[in-house]
Structure 1
Amino acid sequence: MSIETIIADGFSETARMDIHEVVRRLNTHLGPTLVAALSGTRDRRQPIRWAKPDGPAPGADFEKRIRLARRVWVAIADAESDSVARAWFIGGNPRLSEDTPLTAIREDRHREVVAAFTAFLEDTYDG
């Protein structure tokens, strides 16, 4: 499967998911503390509430970050593994000036994040 197909499939699947389910799955893989950090909420317990089917929905900015994180997670975990995806989120990244992808998502540097995970999947970290 091509990188473009993996990215498109992750986008389509994530866009169709209820936000509570998106958060629940990210909480399962990254934990609510990291989900809180990447979303930008100061309350590390907020992702637990967002994950409940009858819980509050995250605001628009939080939701945008969470949906991007889920797309990235799916692409990397499907191509590599869950442990590689987690390491990718929390490790310094040369495509992001050694910031973590988690930080770049929180700072709304979404194009940079997409370019970084695409380069990772294509194994083109040369510049």
Structure 2
Amino acid sequence: MSIPVPASQPGHRAYEDSVRLDIGGIVTGLREILGAQLVACLGRVSNTRSVREWAEGSRAPGADVVQRLRTSYYVAGILSERESGTVIQAWFQGMNPELGDKSPAALLRAERLDVIGPDVVAAARSFIAHG
């Protein structure tokens, strides 16, 4: 069953990219928007060397991390439709009232993605819609 999604819906292009890009492209895009340190946090690693290796393709993250990074890319893409990189970084790291005053980055890193992912996407869409 296919649910039609209007092309004008925030994040449509970001979703397509998050599915089509290889992990190197995802990591490179996230690094450009969020910086290597925040990508390392989202990828559950303690150093940016791993992030560089993922971007270069010399090392691959595990399947769970790949899904977290794809979701993060999708969310960053939604936000980038209307916000600057500085605002997007602050949004990922700051307390969010729609997420129980927890940061999206902390939730995407620590929680089950199937549970928290839709909430973080909804919070990003809300932020774009309401500022």
Q: Which of the five TM-score ranges fits, normalised by the shorter chain? A: 0.7 to 0.9
Structural mapping, 1:22-61, within 5 Å: 22-52=26-56, 54-61=57-64
Matches within 5 A, 1:7-86: 7-52=11-56, 54-86=57-89
Count of matched residue pairs? 122
CA contact (8 A) 2:79 2:125 kept: no
Provide structure 2 residue ranges, at least 5 long, that are not aligned to the other structure. 1-5
Letter in 1 for 2:45: T
1:55-74 Cα shifts (integer Å, max 9, x gaps): 12211110111011111111
Equivalent AA in structure 2 for residue 90 of structure 1: Q
Q: Aligned letter for 1:104? A: L
- C-alpha distance in 1 between matches for 2:61 and 2:95: 27
Q: Name the residue aligned to 1:87.
A: 90
Shift of 1:44: 3.8
CA distance in 2, matches of 1:16, 1:120: 25
Q: Identity over the aligned pairs, expressed in percent?
A: 33
- 1:8 Cα deviation (Å)? 2.0
Decide whether the 8 Å contact of 1:21 with 1:51 is kept in 2: yes
Q: Matches of 1:95 and 1:6 in 2, distance apart?
A: 18
Q: Quote the Cα distance in structure 2 between the aligned partners of 1:3 and 1:90.
A: 29
Structure 1 residues 37 and 10: alpha-carbon distance in aligned structure 2, compared to 1, 3 A threshold:
same
For 1:39 and 1:4, the matched residues in 2 are separated by 30
**Which residues of structure 1 form unaligned runs of 5+?**
none
Structure with more contact order per residue of length (Cα contacts < 8 Å, sep ≥ 6): 2
